């Protein structure tokens, strides 16, 4: 990418511009579709395109990319029930209850997850629950706690890293 175009995009991500982009994306796809997540995915796409070539209008690119990502996710959600059928339907056999070993393993895994969550700092635990259990956007959680959206993102990342430990131990 040309130096002057790269320099122009480096100052592109201002707080006011990101707020405006979130509003535009929210209006286009609905605010319940997590415009923050869509914008973040769109920014990743924009940065990939910055490497390969010049983007004439980064703001339009981001909004369009976010809308396309939302549509793709919507299609994926509606198509999954048709594609992913229970194995028992495919094999035409009755579903069986999980084995005793599977139940014990699931309970152990759940206990490990609960222990990790219990060891988290209270604010990180609260942010994790509000985001993953209640499904609240980062912005709402930040307003509740009187912290920045960036701080909420860091709490979620810390929690995810801690919970990833369960997968590494298996």
pLDDT in tens, the chain (170 residues): 444 444 444 566 788 888 888 888 888 888 777 888 888 888 888 888 777 777 778 888 888 888 998 888 877 776 655 555 565 555 555 556 788 888 898 899 888 889 999 999 999 999 999 998 899 999 999 999 999 999 999 999 998 888 887 766 55
Radius of gyration of the chain (CA): 21
HEC readout, the chain: CCHHHHHHHHCCCCHHHHHHHHHHHHHHHCHHHCHHHHHHHHHHHHHHHHHHCCCCCHHHHHHHHHHHHHHHHHHHHHHHHHHCCCHHHHHCCCCCCCCHHHHHHHHHHHHHHHHHHHHCCHHHHHHHHHHHHCCCCHHHHHHHHCCCHHHHHHHHHHHHHHHHHHHHHC
Domains of the chain, with CATH numbers? 3-83 (no CATH), 97-169 (1.10.10.10)
Query: What's the pLDDT score for residue 98?
Result: 80
Residue 42, C-beta contacts closer than 8 angstroms, at least 6 positions apart: 25, 61, 62, 63, 65, 66, 69
- CB atoms under 10 Å from CB of 37, counted, come to 16
- 11 Ramachandran zone, left/alpha/beta (phi>0; psi -120 to 50): alpha
Q: Which two tokens stand for residue 75?
A: 């299609």
pTM of the predicted model, to two decimals?
A: 0.42
């Amino acid at each position: 990418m040309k130096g002057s175009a790269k320099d122009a995009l480096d100052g592109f991500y201002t707080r006011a511009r990101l707020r405006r982009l979130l509003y535009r994306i929210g209006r286009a796809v609905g605010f319940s579709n997590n415009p923050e997540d869509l914008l973040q995915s769109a920014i990743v796409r924009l940065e990939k395109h910055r490497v390969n070539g010049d983007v004439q209008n980064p703001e339009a690119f981001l909004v369009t990319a976010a809308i396309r990502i939302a549509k793709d996710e919507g299609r994926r959600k509606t198509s999954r029930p048709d594609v992913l059928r229970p194995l028992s339907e495919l094999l035409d056999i009755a579903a069986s209850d999980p084995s005793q070993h599977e139940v014990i393993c699931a309970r152990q895994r759940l206990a490990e997850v609960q222990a990790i969550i219990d060891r988290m700092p209270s604010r990180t635990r609260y942010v994790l629950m509000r985001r993953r259990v209640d499904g609240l956007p980062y912005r709402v959680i930040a307003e509740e706690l009187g912290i920045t959206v960036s701080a909420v993102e860091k709490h979620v990342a810390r929690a995810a890293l801690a919970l990833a430990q369960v997968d590494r131990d298996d």
